[in-house]
Amino acid sequence: MAEEIEYWDFATQDELTEQLVGDIGFIIESALDARGQALLAFPGGSTPKPVFAGLAKANIRWKNVTIIPTDERLVPVDSPLSNIALIAKTFLPLGARVLPLNSEAENYTLAGSAANARLMDLHWPPDLVWLGMGKDGHTASIFPGPDMEGAIHADKGVRAVGVMPDPLPPEAPVARVTLTAEAIASARTTIIVGGGRDKKTVLDKAIEEGARSAFPIGRILDRIEIPVDIYWLDS
């Protein structure tokens, strides 16, 4: 289990955004100073939107920063469901390199292999993996269900796999590719960002259950060895 898991609670979206923009900016600048480049994995969903907008306005050196999604829905990049679309729209104009993980592979398993191959070219590990979380305890695109173990116990060294959530999540009922537990756990920094009581109840239970948890987020936290900060919007 992550060495230390700490909640940072925020009363308003603006406060949460300001803190995250400052902290992510610091992670990027530190990575650039130490290694001349930064690799970030950003989630999909709705939570990141205001934070991306805040990051875009901040004074951050985006050149030599590579951004990948933690997971991608297997839809065309111009689909409103695409995770990379918002990332690309926000960060490409700032000079960052944005690497999509989707492909036109004919099935999601092959799409996973293609995403994995693309990630093999990167300077690993990520300086930051930012995880979102759903009410069902999924994180990245590791959902409770038949494909969960495959993403959590993928072969050693595999960074991405294809998954078909079952049941399909109503907000985006499509196959996905996702970082594996090993890839997530390899990050130099991991944060979780979310909000609301329902999700908090799930997250607390998942943390308590750890390796035994039926919630993917609990299983992932069990694999992470570094401290994890949770940024939470109380609402």
Q: Summarize as ranges the residues that interact with ligand 6PG (CB under 6 A).
A: 43-47, 70-71, 73, 83, 132-134, 138-141, 172
Residue located via tokens 């300077």: 123
Residue closest to ligand 6PG, measured at CB: 132
Residue 32 or residue 206: which is nearer to ligand 6PG going by CB?
206
Q: Would you say 144 and 107 are in contact if contact means Cβ atoms under 8 Å apart?
A: no
User: In angstroms, what is the minimal distance from the CB of 132 to ligand 6PG?
Assistant: 2
Distance of CA 45 to the CA centre of its chain: 10
Q: Would you say 66 and 76 are in contact if contact means Cβ atoms under 8 Å apart?
A: no
Residue 127 or residue 199: which is nearer to ligand 6PG going by CB?
199
User: In angstroms, what is the minimal distance from the CB of 42 to ligand 6PG?
Assistant: 9
User: In angstroms, what is the minimal distance from the CB of 102 to ligand 6PG?
Assistant: 11
Say how far apart CA 50 and CA 88 lie, in whole Å: 15
Distance of CA 71 to the CA centre of its chain: 7
Residue 91 parent element (H or E): helix 83-91
Residue 82 or residue 116: which is nearer to ligand 6PG going by CB?
82
User: In angstroms, what is the minimal distance from the CB of 84 to ligand 6PG?
Assistant: 10
Residue 33 or residue 149: which is nearer to ligand 6PG going by CB?
149
Say how far apart CA 155 and CA 86 lie, in whole Å: 31
